[in-house]
Structure 1
Amino acid sequence: MPKAYAYVRWSTAEQGDEGRDSHHRQTTPLQAFTEVTGIPVVETVIDKGISAFRGANARIGQLKGLLDRIESGEIEHGDYIIVESIDRLTRQKLTDSVDLIQSILKKGVRLHTVFDNKTYSYDDPSRDLETLILVGVIAKRAHEESDTKSKRLKSSWLKKRDAAETTIVSKKAPYGFRYDEQSQSFVIAEEEAQEIRYAFELLKYMGVIETLKRINQNSKRKWRKTHIRDLIKHKTPIGVLCLQRRNDDGTKAFDRYVPGYFPKIIEETEFDAAVSAIQSRDKENSRGRRSPNNYNIFRHCIRCHEHQCGMIFNLQGLGNHSKRYAYLVCTDKAEKVCECENRVRFELVFGAFLAFVKKLSENRYIDERTQEKRKVFTWFSQEQYKQMDTVNDAFSRFFSVRDTSAPKEEIRAKKGKLNTEKHTLDMLEASLAQFDGMIPQIFIKRVADSEARINTLEKEIQSLEGALTIEAETLEITTYQDILDLYETEEGRLKLNTFFISRGIVFEVNTNKESNMVGLIVRIKGEENFELHTYHNFPTEKPLKDFGISDLSHIIK
């Protein structure tokens, strides 16, 4: 006994919403078909929100699966495909529509349209001409109807796009804004905007998941990853409107940004810095869980000197857990690769870093003297002066503004290329307006290639400017006390860690357990000749007393 397969389609997602009749209208007659013919409808295949105008449903939609099953013989000779009308299957040009329908009928599968209660098949060769004419007329009418609608929608969309440059095209406000009827403009919704500012500040130093956890503790809405993604994609926090266009297959595609459409919640530099930080973390080869409350300021920038591998932050409690102690452990030791003894209390490494900064800051404030005066000045030897110069240079390279001339020049060069590419696209679009009729494929490809190059250059510039913002940030450090003050807060700890990573600073640790001495070798990635050593002996009790505190137990809890 033959079987029937129903195919249902609507062009936009909205047509399938509750209260719309697309689904109901196309499926209601199926029961009547079975009652009249006795043939059961065994399956209903639905393409939701996909167009048939360019044949997207037959290429990537559920219809493709149905056609494949006909081709393979799973849907057999004598079976039925039921549609509301021919235009549910195809709205392509006449020849393409006829080819698609012929591919169904040639397999002996019948096509039934419930709208006019007609059945098309190859069972009766005498009706071939009639079938071809009917299908052709219906298909041509459907294509012309869709073509007219497409042109109207495109014209309407173009008008809306151009209007957005000077006027407000919709009062619907994204999160962080509201439409003010009195001024007839968008204004900042301060409570929501504060959440957005907080999010972008956090994203400079931590991942999206951790950022969401913190925002959601006191937020007006429950933030999700999609909210962060949309803010970055649409750029609304910097006052931009993201315009999109609808493709022939019903999907949406980016068209252009309209700057100045909304008031700014954050500046472009802050936006770019957050985006650049996200991209940088995505590219990192090193992974690993953050320490609780970001206690480990050396995350991803510390390694065991002996084995040249990373060190794991391990938080433990002692006795009645009145105090908690953190350790840095050689990764090879933790993974049982070696029997390395490099397991050291975190606060001793932290203390060695304080000693390093103390050494830098003390030498930094020694009065500068001319070479002539140095020759007659007897407090220090010439070798000691050379060491002081090395240390002073290190301090300036650690805690002052970094030389940004190279990345700035790269940004300038890319902006020049971007302006040239935009001018090229403008000329291509001007030429496009001169075409009457079909546009050559090679011309379309040139426009698409130009748009792709512009998109790539804009992303590269954004990434460079964001990285530059982070790298250009300075820490107000003059003494080790400033390090202690920063370590008191999680925000300060994050800033320290980000600063080390962005500057390429690497710390290597070696220890002497017998003397309780910790050595720290400080390097800068990409600078082979830069290497500073510091060693510090710590008392067993109150190891940080030289720096005005006993230990870190008042912070690490």
Structure 2
Amino acid sequence: MTNPASRPKAYSYIRMSSAIQIKGDSFRRQAEASAKYAAEHDLDLIDDYKLADLGVSAFKSDNLTTGALGRFVAECEAGEIEAGSFLLIESLDRLSRDKILDAFSLFARILKTGVKIVTLSDGQVYDGSSDQVGSIYYAISVMIRSNDESKIKSTRGLANWSQKRKLAAEHGVKMSSQCPAWLKLSVDRKSYLIDKERAKIVQRIFEASASGKGANLITKELNRDKVPTFGRGALWAEAFVSKTLRNRAVLGEFQPGQYVSGKRQPAGDPIPGYFPPVIEEELFDIVQASLRGRLLAGGRRGEGQSNIFTHVAFCGYCGSKMRHRSKGSRVKGNPPHRYLTCFNRFNGPGCDCKPLPYAAFERSFLTFVRDVDLRGLLEGAKRKSEAKTIADRITVNEEKVRKADERIRDYLIKIEGAPDLAEIFMERIRELKAEKDDLVRSIEESNDALSKIKSDNVTDEELASLISTFQNPCGENRIRLADRIKSIIERIDVYPNGEIRKDDPAIDLVRASGDPDAEKIIAAMNAGSRLKDDPYFIVTFRNGAVQTVVPNPSNPDDIRVSVYAGEKTRRVEGSAYEYESD
């Protein structure tokens, strides 16, 4: 045998486009054929060069644009693959099944680099020399046939799946045995059966998410409790939990799809009732609203929640985020001192904002920002609160309004693409707008009912007890509280240095409200020059309301003044100002 250093190098390219081929004998067959050819022709087969595209189609050159073949061709053209080397392929259709010009262009690109192509099925060697005219014509005919075969397969496959989608949508006929992990196809293939144990696990995942837990914490708890997974893995994966929480198949909905350029795209409208549901739609909508809230908030939480104002607290002077910081106590054994610190101040001389003692700020916030509704939040965790029920109803209806808006936008886009069907689409749009109007009215009624419940007086003793309940940094209630704050509050601007600013948004809201006592309220807000050094904060709610709170610096359970200005409600209270409505 020739010295390996002087033998031409050979590279074996293996491609399989389907899962059936991957599971079958195709890989072994192609690999053995390459090894046999290299041995018989004294070639140095480079075993450690990974040149395989598994599950990749050559019909539209995916193996060239995104696969290993594209890397090989680039290295050939860069001279990294030596001229005179051999590319071993089972047949030309492994190289490409694309249109003839694209397939031949790829074929020629490789030959131009001096790399020879060997088709193992017939032993043909292509080197691009002038005496290979006949062989080139034969290669072109193979390429044409390969493309035609792929087009026929694609057309038949699309027609087959199109018919399956039609039968599924119109008659409920099941398209295939593939289904969510908590279901299985019946023996007669006419229905899907629920795996009750797995359905209970799905229910647990959704209820945990609705209670305020993120996918990371849910995953940890499933693994901690050694809950059986749905696959071969021994442990639950956060990605699977996240995907399950967004999967509308839990409602029984099936979204047919087809692959376009290697990516699965929706094909037609979703089919409701295709699967048996395992989750109530109300619970699903609550979870989706909660997930969007966490997405806006960003970040990952551990099992604790030291700072319940993450991503909502901002410096009122420079606008940067307020960060939670801890400083060790000088007294051994004492807990560290905790502060909210302006990010610009912490990183340099960008702001004069003083650090704000965290514990006092949190207590003032929870005491006087009543929309957080600590009692309703705590009772809601125990599923006994009427306020929680109404709040959930609002969340569900808001989710339905959002989906109605999305569907209206979709129909408007469809009108642009199919103007002949405009009247049909417009009729559906009118129906959706009517449904949306009913939902908006229901939301308004629920908000009124919720406001009435929240207006119930809470004694100082009860409020103090409620706040203490939420003080445990590792408790689930605290995680739920942080989620509640992010869901109702847009931002909290804090002013540790005092100096009430003249452009307080609460002033504009009070003045625009038309309240006959508006000027008295504004006078109360502006009168206290003696309080200009007292820290205060301004809360901007997602519903547009604003509340300004000036706590008593020496007692976080007391306030100098608090002014709440909403669309329908104005409140002024505090020990520093006197205000009485005529």
The answer, yes or no, to whether TM exceeds 0.5 is yes
Asked if structure 2 preserves the Cα contact closer than 8 Å seen for 1:318 and 1:324, the reply is no
Where do residues 423-442 of structure 1 align in structure 2 (5 Å cutoff)? none
Question: The residue matched to 1:169 in structure 2 has which SS?
Answer: coil
338, 354, 376: which one aligns with 1:327: 338
Task: Quote the residue 1:533 is aligned against.
Answer: 550
Task: Quote the residue 2:412 is aligned against.
Answer: 420
Offset at 1:190?
A: 4.5
Task: Quote the residue 1:356 is aligned against.
Answer: 368
Q: Distance in 1 between matches of 2:371 and 2:291?
A: 34
> Which amino acid in structure 2 is aligned with residue 168 of structure 1?
K
Question: The residue matched to 1:312 in structure 2 has which SS?
Answer: strand
> Which amino acid in structure 2 is aligned with residue 524 of structure 1?
T
Instruction: Classify 1:254/1:223 alpha carbon distance in 2 versus 1 (closer, same or farther; 3 Å).
Output: farther
Offset at 1:351?
A: 4.1
Q: Distance in 2 between matches of 1:34 and 1:412?
A: 63
Q: Distance in 2 between matches of 1:341 and 1:110?
A: 73
Offset at 1:227?
A: 1.0
Task: Quote the residue 1:499 is aligned against.
Answer: 484
Where do residues 32-51 of structure 1 align in structure 2 (5 Å cutoff)? 32-42=36-46, 45-51=51-57
Offset at 1:267?
A: 3.9
Q: Distance in 2 between matches of 1:359 and 1:277?
A: 18
Offset at 1:485?
A: 3.9
Where do residues 22-33 of structure 1 align in structure 2 (5 Å cutoff)? 22-33=26-37
Task: Quote the residue 2:3 is aligned against.
Answer: none
Q: Distance in 2 between matches of 1:425 and 1:268?
A: 32
Offset at 1:409?
A: 7.7
Where do residues 200-279 of structure 1 align in structure 2 (5 Å cutoff)? 200-203=206-209, 205-218=212-225, 219-221=227-229, 222-232=235-245, 234-247=247-260, 251-256=263-268, 257-279=270-292
Q: Which has the higher contact order (CA 8 A, sep 6+)?
A: 1
Instruction: Classify 1:424/1:201 alpha carbon distance in 2 versus 1 (closer, same or farther; 3 Å).
Output: farther
> Which amino acid in structure 1 is aligned with residue 57 of structure 2?
S
Offset at 1:509?
A: 7.0
Q: Deviations over 1:422-465 (max 9, x none)?
A: 46667899xxxxxxxxxxxxxxxxxxxxxxxxxxxxxxx9xx99
Matched, 1:113 2:129: no
TM-score, normalised with respect to structure 1: 0.66
Q: Distance in 1 between matches of 2:312 and 2:394?
A: 19
Greater CA drift, 297-306 or 100-109: 297-306
> Which amino acid in structure 2 is aligned with residue 415 of structure 1?
R
Q: Deviations over 1:269-306 (max 9, x none)?
A: 5434433443443344x75x758633544444446778
Question: The residue matched to 2:550 in structure 1 has which SS?
Answer: strand
Asked if structure 2 preserves the Cα contact closer than 8 Å seen for 1:354 and 1:483, the reply is no
Question: The residue matched to 2:80 in structure 1 has which SS?
Answer: coil
Offset at 1:74?
A: 3.4
Instruction: Classify 1:37/1:185 alpha carbon distance in 2 versus 1 (closer, same or farther; 3 Å).
Output: closer
Task: Quote the residue 2:164 is aligned against.
Answer: 160
Q: Distance in 1 between matches of 2:60 and 2:126?
A: 23
Task: Quote the residue 2:377 is aligned against.
Answer: none
Q: Distance in 2 between matches of 1:317 and 1:237?
A: 51
Task: Quote the residue 2:305 is aligned against.
Answer: 294
Task: Quote the residue 1:383 is aligned against.
Answer: none
Task: Quote the residue 2:13 is aligned against.
Answer: 7
Instruction: Classify 1:189/1:100 alpha carbon distance in 2 versus 1 (closer, same or farther; 3 Å).
Output: closer
Where do residues 402-417 of structure 1 align in structure 2 (5 Å cutoff)? 414-417=406-409
Offset at 1:7?
A: 1.7
Instruction: Classify 1:417/1:357 alpha carbon distance in 2 versus 1 (closer, same or farther; 3 Å).
Output: closer
Instruction: Classify 1:492/1:509 alpha carbon distance in 2 versus 1 (closer, same or farther; 3 Å).
Output: farther
87, 92, 96: which one aligns with 2:93: 87
Asked if structure 2 preserves the Cα contact closer than 8 Å seen for 1:349 and 1:509, the reply is no
Q: Distance in 1 between matches of 2:362 and 2:485?
A: 14
Q: Deviations over 1:319-346 (max 9, x none)?
A: 896x967734434676686897745362
Offset at 1:524?
A: 2.0
Asked if structure 1 preserves the Cα contact closer than 8 Å seen for 2:315 and 2:353, the reply is no
Asked if structure 1 preserves the Cα contact closer than 8 Å seen for 2:206 and 2:245, the reply is no
Question: The residue matched to 1:531 in structure 2 has which SS?
Answer: strand
Matched, 1:69 2:55: no
Question: The residue matched to 1:50 in structure 2 has which SS?
Answer: coil
Q: Distance in 1 between matches of 2:370 and 2:292?
A: 34
Instruction: Classify 1:85/1:231 alpha carbon distance in 2 versus 1 (closer, same or farther; 3 Å).
Output: same
Task: Quote the residue 2:152 is aligned against.
Answer: 148
Q: Distance in 1 between matches of 2:36 and 2:123?
A: 11
Task: Quote the residue 1:56 is aligned against.
Answer: 62
Q: Distance in 2 between matches of 1:404 and 1:239?
A: 18
Asked if structure 1 preserves the Cα contact closer than 8 Å seen for 2:293 and 2:487, the reply is no
Identity of aligned residues (%): 22
Question: The residue matched to 1:294 in structure 2 has which SS?
Answer: coil
> Which amino acid in structure 2 is aligned with residue 293 of structure 1?
G
Structure 2, unaligned stretches of length 5 or more?
1-5, 230-234, 374-390, 422-435, 499-532, 559-582
Task: Quote the residue 1:436 is aligned against.
Answer: none
Asked if structure 2 preserves the Cα contact closer than 8 Å seen for 1:316 and 1:324, the reply is yes
> Which amino acid in structure 1 is aligned with residue 228 of structure 2?
K
Q: Distance in 1 between matches of 2:482 and 2:330?
A: 27
Asked if structure 1 preserves the Cα contact closer than 8 Å seen for 2:372 and 2:485, the reply is no
Matched, 1:488 2:469: yes
Instruction: Classify 1:112/1:208 alpha carbon distance in 2 versus 1 (closer, same or farther; 3 Å).
Output: same
Question: The residue matched to 1:160 in structure 2 has which SS?
Answer: helix
Question: The residue matched to 2:13 in structure 1 has which SS?
Answer: strand
Offset at 1:148?
A: 2.1
Asked if structure 2 preserves the Cα contact closer than 8 Å seen for 1:352 and 1:519, the reply is no
Q: Distance in 2 between matches of 1:272 and 1:522?
A: 31
Q: Distance in 1 between matches of 2:86 and 2:178?
A: 46
Instruction: Classify 1:315/1:23 alpha carbon distance in 2 versus 1 (closer, same or farther; 3 Å).
Output: same
Q: Distance in 1 between matches of 2:371 and 2:105?
A: 82
Matched, 1:524 2:544: no
Asked if structure 2 preserves the Cα contact closer than 8 Å seen for 1:304 and 1:509, the reply is yes
Greater CA drift, 205-214 or 502-511: 502-511
Q: Distance in 1 between matches of 2:282 and 2:371?
A: 34
Q: Distance in 2 between matches of 1:183 and 1:41?
A: 48
Question: The residue matched to 1:278 in structure 2 has which SS?
Answer: helix
Offset at 1:9?
A: 1.2
Asked if structure 2 preserves the Cα contact closer than 8 Å seen for 1:349 and 1:520, the reply is no
